Amino acid sequence: MRELLGDEQDELFQRFMDSVHDYAIFLLTPEGIVASWNVGAQRIKGYRAEEIIGRHFSVFYPQEALDRQLPAHGLRTAVQQGQWRDEGWRLRKDGSRFWAHVLISPLLGPNGEVLGFSKVTRDMTEKRESEQRLVQSERNLRLLVETVQDYAIFSLDCHGVITSWNRGAQRIKGYTAQEAIGKHFSVFYEPPDVARGWPQEELAHAAEQGRFEDEGWRLRKDGTRFWANVVITAIKDEHGQLLGFSKVTRDLTERRRHEEQLREREESLRLLVEGVRDHAMFLLDAQGRIKAWNEGGQRLLGYDSSQVLEQDVSMFYPEEDRLAGKPKAELSSAQSAGHLLVEGWRQRADGTRFWAEVTTTRLDGDGATPRGFIRIVRDLTERRRAETLEMEGRRLSEFIAVLSHELRNPLAPIRNAVAILDRFTNDEPQARWCLDLLGRQIGHMTRLVDDLLDVSRITSGKLRLEPVALELNTLVRMAVESAGAMVRQRGHSLSVQLAPVPIQIMGDTTRLTQVVANLLANAAKYTPAPGCVDVSVRQDGEVATMQVSDNGMGMSESLLQRAFKPFVQGVRALDRSEGGLGVGLALVKNIVELHGGSVSAGSAGLGKGTTITVTLPVQKQAAAEASATAQTVVPSPRRVLVVDDHRDAAESLALLLRMSGHDVEVAQDGPMALRTAAAFRPNVVLLDIGLPGMDGYELARRIRELPKLGGVRLIAVTGHGQQADRQAAAAAGLHSFITKPVEPEELARLLSPV
């Protein structure tokens, strides 16, 4: 960031130069062409900047100086000796002459090459005339000098001994005239400067060049230091014989203090910028060329300063953006607005891309054209990757929700049809076998849909538990009774070993039953018949442990490491006609961890069986043991309105309800449902949510507004099962929410009078 500070210093210096009216200060090219122009130069020489920049500086010399080739001599001497001083007549724009003091200094590059010259010209006409008048009226001038308070003005003989002393010298240096006159002027210099002969060297320079100017530390009478600007002028007679020196000293301590403070602030700023490693910060000129580069830029973009300085900023853009003109367009926008914040791909030195936040700020110049731009680049690749993953997760969740809805719709009439056939089929073994098969397959499909939705809820953090006090032995026994039939149907033996004492836990009954069912289903599917499946429960201190073991296919070491990730399955044999989606163990893991427990898998290898171990925290204060006895609900006849645009689902559900003794009407859309409800006056309305024209939520609100239907019971029967759907149903005033396909027992319970 040293370049940036240098530019800032240049700006401050330029402003300082423009405030100097008594000196013409400007730059020359190596050939002597004027390259810059300050206010003092315009005042002294009469040219405006646009009139003189680009012309040769010899335009300021009278013909006699040009005949002597004085301009070229001055440049050569400055290069040979480090600077060239001269006094003589010069020309203004209007042709008038003035006596000028000229200082030309070469500007050298890092390898010593001449980059140009600085030229300082002072109008010495009045001073020259004053010096002439001084010879004629020395007494008056001495009185005038004596009155000056802000400058120490005194004279020296040829050897440096003080011969006169003004009031300003007494005020600045502390010596009276009697104390100072007769002393050597080296008394004002610090001992190291005296030791190296600097006072005598100043006099030698002044004697040789006519004038010498310097800044440095000087001493007062009391030993304190002050920062002095010193001008020593050689006094010569008309024959050039040295008579002595005049010496003008100005106290610039306060100015130096401010300059030091400015340098300290600039250094602090430089260190601050250099210390920023997470942001690339660099300076551009008005054309987009890189002028300064920080360490963060090297870390982020892979280039060091030597590789990027003076290069176009487009080097960081991908090729397609360069071809499209994006680098220039962004600079143009920043120039117009003053500030521009964009995001896009940028390219590192090794060719890799990263997603960047780029801030471009205009640096205003003196005119309409900006001095340049400050650009700050931040790597947002990780944030963009996270946002992309989040967006993909949302899309996946939406896809699963749509998929589950589309799968539930055909399952609903099939489930209803199976329930209807079950009423008629009693003694036919083949028909009973077919019904059992259909029931199992519908149950299997329903579990797959539920598993997909549960995985989606877990990954999006939307799965919620409803914990209550539970007794683990009882929960496992009831879950095994529910899922054990599936294990035995596959030809496996099932053994259960419960803990000898009750184990009290807090948990969600439905979700923990789902854990046991998924583990039994996995064991049954991955164990060739006839196999053995064992379930055990025990308490180890404050931890309850449940294990499900089988003697089936087992797991390899690599599969053990991935078994609890979604959609991971073992090798499926060709003779296995039934499998799953590979989400069962992932659901088990997430549900158990939501309960504060853990789950692990163990296997001695392929063909040697698998053991899944689940641990859950035990409640320290045991809850009162509660027992629940399942009772078959026999509902009383009700007037039921079924609303569903899926004709098979609506008619099959209506037939099933009529067989249970209910009075049923069917409607396929909202307007038809409103007309039917007004005439039929149902006790219960079973309505689908995804209806054409008017959705189920709006229909529910409209039904409640019908005369004498304010107390009707509204139940959503839908293929949409997300948490947001349940919340929307509750907000619309629906009493219950069930997903397709509907279990006959659950439907009977919902139709019972409240």
Least Cα distance to 121 among 69, 59, 164 occurs for: 59
What is the pLDDT confidence band of residue 517, given thresholds at 50, 70 and 90? Answer: confident
Same fold, 2-123 and 468-571+579-617: no
Least Cα distance to 608 among 559, 557, 554, 572 occurs for: 554
* pLDDT tens by residue, 318-334: 998 889 889 999 888 88
Rounded CA separation 62/57 (Å): 12
* pLDDT tens by residue, 712-730: 888 888 877 667 777 888 8
pLDDT at residue 623 is higher than 50: no
Least Cα distance to 279 among 590, 511, 1, 572 occurs for: 1
Rounded CA separation 347/351 (Å): 6
CATH fold label, 277-379: Beta-Lactamase (3.30.450)
Percent of the chain with pLDDT over 70: 78
CB 325 within 8 A of CB 333: no
Three-class DSSP category at 242: strand
Q: Looking at residue 27, what is its pLDDT?
A: 93
Every domain of the chain and the residues it spans: 2-123, 137-254, 277-379, 388-429+633-754, 468-571+579-617
Buried b (16+ CB within 10 A) or exposed e, 700-734: bebbeeeeebeebbbbbbbbbbbeebbebbeebeb
* pLDDT tens by residue, 222-258: 999 999 999 999 999 888 899 999 899 998 888 888 8
Burial class (CB in 10 A: 0-12, 13-18, 19+), 35: middle
What is the pLDDT confidence band of residue 457, given thresholds at 50, 70 and 90? Answer: low
Least Cα distance to 721 among 492, 363, 452, 333 occurs for: 452
Q: Of 141 and 323, which is predicted with more confidence?
A: 323
Q: Looking at residue 367, what is its pLDDT?
A: 67
Total number of residues shown for the chain: 754
3-state per-residue secondary structure call for 164-182? CCCHHHHHHHCCCHHHHCC
* Residue 343 host element (H or E): strand 339-347
Least Cα distance to 683 among 655, 652, 711, 648 occurs for: 711
Q: Which of 4-8, 423-427, 572-576, 734-738 has the lowest mean pLDDT?
A: 572-576
Write down the CATH number for the domain with range 468-571+579-617.
Answer: 3.30.565.10
Q: Which of 316-325, 442-451, 671-680 has the lowest mean pLDDT?
A: 442-451
pLDDT at residue 80 is higher than 90: yes
pTM score: 0.34
pLDDT at residue 4 is higher than 50: no
Burial class (CB in 10 A: 0-12, 13-18, 19+), 619: middle
CB 335 within 8 A of CB 318: no
Rounded CA separation 552/343 (Å): 55
Q: Which of 368-372, 420-424, 518-522, 538-542 has the lowest mean pLDDT?
A: 420-424
For domain 2-123, the question of CATH label 3.30.450.20 is answered with yes
**What mean pLDDT is predicted for residues 278-299?**
82
Sorted by sequence, the CB contacts under 8 Å of residue 242 that are 6+ apart come out as 158, 207, 234, 235, 236
Q: Looking at residue 631, what is its pLDDT?
A: 41
pLDDT at residue 65 is higher than 90: yes
Residue entry with tokens 């590789």: 307
Three-class DSSP category at 670: helix
CATH fold label, 137-254: Beta-Lactamase (3.30.450)
Q: Looking at residue 219, what is its pLDDT?
A: 93
Rounded CA separation 206/626 (Å): 112
Three-class DSSP category at 100: strand
* pLDDT tens by residue, 554-576: 888 877 777 777 655 554 433 34
**If you average pLDDT over each of 196-200, 340-344, 505-509, which comes out highest?**
196-200
Q: Looking at residue 104, what is its pLDDT?
A: 95
For domain 388-429+633-754, the question of CATH label 3.90.1170.50 is answered with no
Q: Looking at residue 51, what is its pLDDT?
A: 93
Q: Of 84 and 728, which is predicted with more confidence?
A: 84
pLDDT at residue 552 is higher than 60: yes
Q: Looking at residue 98, what is its pLDDT?
A: 93
> What mean pLDDT, rounded, does the chain reach?
80
Sorted by sequence, the CB contacts under 8 Å of residue 270 that are 6+ apart come out as 1, 2, 4, 5
Q: Looking at residue 573, what is its pLDDT?
A: 38
What is the pLDDT confidence band of residue 589, given thresholds at 50, 70 and 90? Answer: confident
CB 62 within 8 A of CB 89: yes
CA 603 to chain centre: 45
* pLDDT tens by residue, 172-227: 999 998 999 999 999 999 999 999 999 999 999 999 999 999 988 999 999 999 99
Sorted by sequence, the CB contacts under 8 Å of residue 64 that are 6+ apart come out as none
What is the pLDDT confidence band of residue 54, given thresholds at 50, 70 and 90? Answer: very high
pLDDT at residue 745 is higher than 80: no
Q: Looking at residue 574, what is its pLDDT?
A: 33
Q: Looking at residue 440, what is its pLDDT?
A: 60
Looking at this protein, which amino acid is placed at residue 300?
L
Q: Looking at residue 461, what is its pLDDT?
A: 52
